[in-house]
Amino acid sequence: MSETITDVQSIFSSIAHKYDKLNTLLTLNIDQLWRKEAVRLCYLKEEDKVLDLCCGTGKMIELECKAVGKAAKVVGLDFNSEMIKVGMKKLTKTLDKNQFSLIQGDAMTLPFQDNTFDCITIAFGLRNVPDKRKAICEMYRVLKPGGKLVCLELSKPTMPIFKSFYNLYFNYMLPFVGYLGTGDKAAYYYLRDSVNSFMTKNQLRREINKVGFKNSGFKSLSCGIASIHYGMKPLYNK
């Protein structure tokens, strides 16, 4: 991957206003089902404090606000100002009675104190972070003891026949359809390449374990084209 942070910023700025519609089209709205399952696996309680990293336009935040209730605040952080602007405009309409905030920031240097959040989610964002290990370490730091990390990410199917059809769609058709929808060829070629170069499910689980998370695992979704990874920060450090 040769893209710089500036390149990736530019890519997401260019598609921010069409991001949600294109995702719905390209995944046949399955991405929303994946998000709902990820939030379900958070096992959120009312008044839990939640951080959603790489929050984009706030799709996870909508679901999390409903789970924690109106008394709790959900915080979203993203590195791209255009995505945040789109998210704020949308969420102020749909979550007028819920507490939330969106801030611009770096997942590798989180602007929060240690042991702040009960749960951290990150959906389709970890592969865009230059230093994955550093980001996971930061998530561990700002989670409370007993807090949970839930990471929803695209992955690769393993069933031989389905894998062949999926690779044809993902590697050739998806970038073309994305280009037709946004006029930005680079954005969806970047999506393809970022997924193809990302860690396998087992590799990501090992990274989560190395940082110190316990009870980690993953759940494959839709024949393996996405997966939910999870881990818990131990209550006590040995």
Mean pLDDT of 135-147: 98
Q: pLDDT digits over 182-235, tens only?
A: 677 677 777 788 888 999 999 999 999 999 999 999 999 999 999 999 999 999
Output the pLDDT for position 34.
96
Nearest to 87 by CA among 25, 35, 29, 20: 20
Q: What's the predicted TM-score (pTM) here?
A: 0.91
The pair of structure tokens assigned to 221 is: 């979704």
| Residues sharing a CB contact under 8 Å with residue 32, sequence separation 6 or more, in sequence order | 24, 59
Question: Which pLDDT score, from 0 to 100, does residue 3 have?
Answer: 57
Question: Residue 1's pLDDT band (boundaries 50, 70, 90)?
Answer: very low
Query: In this predicted model, what pLDDT tens digit does every residue of 81-138 receive, in sequence order?
Result: 999 999 999 999 998 788 999 999 999 999 999 999 999 999 999 999 999 999 999 9
Residue 55 in this model has a pLDDT that exceeds 90: yes
Q: Going from the N-terminus, what domains does the chain have, and what CATH number goes with each?
A: 28-156+199-232 (3.40.50.150)
Give the per-residue SS3 of the chain. CCCCHHHHHHHHHHHHHHHHHHHHHHHCCHHHHHHHHHHHHHCCCCCCCEEEECCCCCHHHHHHHHHHCCCCEEEEEECCHHHHHHHHHHHHHHCCCCEEEEEECECCECCCCCCCEEEEEEECCHHHCCCHHHHHHHHHHHEEEEEEEEEEEECCCCCHHHHHHHHHHHHHHHHHHHHHHHCCHHHHHHHHHHHHCCCCHHHHHHHHHHHCCEEEEEEEEHHHCEEEEEEECCCCCC
Residue 28 has pLDDT above 80, yes or no: no
CA dist 108 and 145 (Å) reads 20
